[in-house]
Amino acid sequence: MPKIIGGSLTEHRERTRIKLFAALATLMLERGFDAISLADIAAKAGVGRTAVYNHFPDKEALLLAYMTYETEEYVANLEDALHGIDDPVEQMRTYVRRQAQLKRVYRLSPGPDLRSVVSPATQRQLRSHAELVATVLRRILEGGMADGSFAEQPLNTTVSLVNACLSTRATADGDPDAVAATEEFVLRALGAQVSVTA
């Protein structure tokens, strides 16, 4: 009988899931999603292969659970960082900085783009995770447009453009100069009154 990790079966299951998520993230950075198997993930997590199947029917289900976990954690932390900030310009600065700090395992991993190696159903579900973050951005933009901090502009297009600015390699690598320049660029693009820094 396998050894139970933690004080209860529920705690054991949660700890096993966290170990599987960590193994998946590490292996994706090392090899890319398409180059790893559930057996690889189980070995990296230090659990039996059957333990993986007790939690996830396949690799894509594990990926989606991992993305849900990571996205929900990220959004909760982002909301905490935004709590008490009423100025939309400062909210946007916080959003930009937090997005720049976010390690995008699925985008920085070697091999083909993740969306090209998963099923269409999984592609749709991956997009829905991005929508959780976009909801926060949309709220910041709506508040800024409503109080005149930002120029009126098409909301959905603006969400896409802001996130495109934040998906560059420089911001993903966390280069402070690139992050600061991106922050100022985004704010000027939104029509915010910001001082130009050299």
Shared domain for 70 and 51, answered yes or no, is no
What is the per-residue pLDDT for 170? 60
Which residue ranges in the chain fall short of pLDDT 70? 1-7, 103-111, 169-174, 195-198
Total number of domains constituting the chain:
2
Same domain, 181 and 109: yes
Specify whether 86 is located in the same domain as 161: yes
At residue 196, the pLDDT reads: 56
Judgement on whether residues 121 and 48 belong to the same structural domain of the protein: no
pLDDT at res. 5: 58
Q: Rounded to the nearest 10 degrees, what angle do helices 88-101 and 59-82 cross at? A: 140
On whether residue 197 sits in a domain, the answer given is no
Q: Which of 32, 56, 80 is the last residue of a domain?
A: 56
Q: Are residues 142 and 75 in the same domain?
A: yes
The residue segments making up the domain with residue 5 are 1-56
CATH of the domain at 71: 1.10.357.10
Q: What is the pLDDT of residues 119-144, one digit of tens each?
A: 888 888 888 878 888 999 999 999 99
Q: Is the pTM of this model over 0.85?
A: no
CA 31 and chain centroid, separation: 19
Looking at the fold, whether 98 and 19 belong to one and the same domain comes out as no
